[in-house]
Structure 1
Amino acid sequence: MEFTDRFYRRDHRQADLVHFQLVVKETDLDIGVRKDRFSPQLVAWVEETIRTCRTPLEDYLQRDPGFVNALTPYTVLPNAPLIVKTMVEAGRLAGVGPMAAVAGAVSEVVGKAIAKRSRDVIVENGGDIFIRTSRIRRIGVFAGESPLSNRVAIEIRPDETPLGICTSSGKVGHSLSFGKADAVVVLSPSVALADAVATACGNLVQTTDDLERALKFASEITGVKGILVIKDDRLAVWGSVKLLPMESSRGSS
């Protein structure tokens, strides 16, 4: 099993949790659990959980190859598995193809499974996070070469979780984006929806003049709790997003 140490992961790792990485084919997860719940047996179980999550999706892609390349809302076969239907619904609400929600959907399935064994859990999949927490946490925001990168953190309270925190960028990472935002971060109880909306909003941002447009778009989607958009030296926020300076977050992370 090989993995890449994705440097941005330092922005969400928590000092009181044990973090480990697992890679299964295209799925590359950074996972944090309570120290008293961590064990080699848990790691092996999580790896099998990832495989179990991926199997119905992989099988479906063999039957419906058009699903992978769809860039707009897509109609799936009637007997599609639950994870596929979840991705399709998120894409429909956001106006994008279902694969825009794949990382968030996988994070959510794996995160909810782990949450049955650890009261605190963070699952990060390419910048898309599932979190459940029993204490206030702060998640740092990486925004590429923007002067605001690593300068702010989002505070997450226990009563807000389980929660999806998903990031899209037109400048960082391998995910497809038609925009030029340094970072779009969307919060939603549905990680798949947060993932799809982050992609959709990222597509809208070409210049700093598009920040308000992206906020308005996200605010009109049921299930979205908040959004943060960073473009160059500009930042815009809507909804339930409490920002703190990164410096003040370090002692509590």
Structure 2
Amino acid sequence: MGVYQERRYRLKCRGRGLISFTARVKETDLWITAPENLSAQAVESILAHRRGLEDYVSRNPGFLTSLKPLPADPWAPPLVKAMLAAGQAAGTGPMAAVAGAIAQAVGRDLSPLAGGEVMVENGGDIYLESPREVTVGLEAGDSPISGRLGISIAPQDMPLCLGTSSGTVGHSLSLGRADAATVKATDGALADAVATALGNRVKSTADLQAALDWVGAVPGVRGALIVLGRKLAAWGDMELVPLEQGAQG
């Protein structure tokens, strides 16, 4: 299944008075919601952040392939510093944080142009900023829970990031079997890396409690949930609400 087929759930996203558009550069494929089409500005932002990342990788090739945390680098560009710190917190390689880090970086760049109302989605990792309550639909592959519940985010909790990893959906590396492992944090790189590590810990329902105990001890994480088949386990500040069938956003 191709990446664009995998992301057909994007067509379900809606926002009152907002429009949605894509911004793509190489492997980076963002779905953005804002009051107006800012695709040109989004592409400029992606190019700027990718330029720093690609230059760093060219000088430090181990950054791209490491599955273990790498030490902090005071000379790295901001995006890379965030990814290194997230990998250390989650116990993963820094590339486990790339989608969330880019989503947040681009969202922050667009925020002044969007009047502080922008959502950036990057393969399940989301940056949210809005003066209104936002509900994010929970996608969990073939689980019967998928599309039935949403995560409600209050305006005072934003800007906020959600990172999601899956062992059954998508092309990203996961060592677990969770249909969805979602993490809530103010830092996008952290949410992404911790979601990856959380999903890696879940291979059966017997792993759910230990996985939640682990994620609850990670500094900076505000909430988390795991979907495994018909089971859902959650920790922290995760307000779940029912969705109308077929509705998202």
Query: Which TM-score band applies after superposition, normalised by the shorter structure?
Result: over 0.9
Matching of residue 100 in structure 1 with residue 100 in structure 2? no
Report SS of the residue matched to 2:221.
coil
Match of 1:233 among 214, 230, 233: 230
Unaligned 5+ runs, structure 2: none
CA-CA distance at 1:11 after TM superposition = 5.3
After TM superposition, the structure 1 stretch with the greater mean CA deviation from structure 2, 92-101 or 71-80, is 71-80
Report SS of the residue matched to 1:209.
helix
The one-letter code matched in structure 2 to 1:230 is V
CA distance in 2, matches of 1:67, 1:76: 11
The one-letter code matched in structure 2 to 1:89 is A
CA distance in 2, matches of 1:173, 1:248: 23
The residue aligned with 1:244 is 241
CA distance in 2, matches of 1:137, 1:249: 17
Q: CA RMSD in A?
A: 1.7
Match of 1:213 among 210, 214, 217: 210
Contact 1:171 1:181 in 2 (8 A): yes
CA distance in 2, matches of 1:205, 1:11: 28
- Structure-2 change in CA distance of 1:76 and 1:164 (3 Å): same
Cα deviation code 1:17-74 (max 9, x no counterpart)? 200011100100000002xxx14xx321211111011100000010010111111111
CA-CA distance at 1:8 after TM superposition = 2.4
Matching of residue 9 in structure 1 with residue 10 in structure 2? yes
CA-CA distance at 1:90 after TM superposition = 0.4
Cα deviation code 1:158-204 (max 9, x no counterpart)? 10000001110001111110000000110000011000000000000
The residue aligned with 2:172 is 175
Cα deviation code 1:124-182 (max 9, x no counterpart)? 00100000011111100110011111111000111000000111000111111000000
The one-letter code matched in structure 1 to 2:117 is D
CA-CA distance at 1:16 after TM superposition = 3.2
CA distance in 2, matches of 1:198, 1:112: 21
Report SS of the residue matched to 1:19.
strand
The one-letter code matched in structure 2 to 1:169 is S
**Structure 1 residues 119-130: aligned runs within 5 Å:** 119-130=116-127
The residue aligned with 1:82 is 78
- Structure-2 change in CA distance of 1:63 and 1:83 (3 Å): same
Cα deviation code 1:82-108 (max 9, x no counterpart)? 111110000100111100000000001
CA distance in 1, matches of 2:53, 2:187: 18
Contact 1:138 1:249 in 2 (8 A): no
Report SS of the residue matched to 2:244.
helix
Report SS of the residue matched to 2:199.
helix
CA distance in 2, matches of 1:227, 1:16: 30
TM-score by length of 2: 0.94
**Structure 1 residues 31-70: aligned runs within 5 Å:** 31-34=32-35, 38-39=36-37, 42-70=38-66
- Structure-2 change in CA distance of 1:202 and 1:215 (3 Å): same
**Structure 1 residues 157-176: aligned runs within 5 Å:** 157-176=154-173
Contact 2:147 2:245 in 1 (8 A): no
The one-letter code matched in structure 1 to 2:109 is A
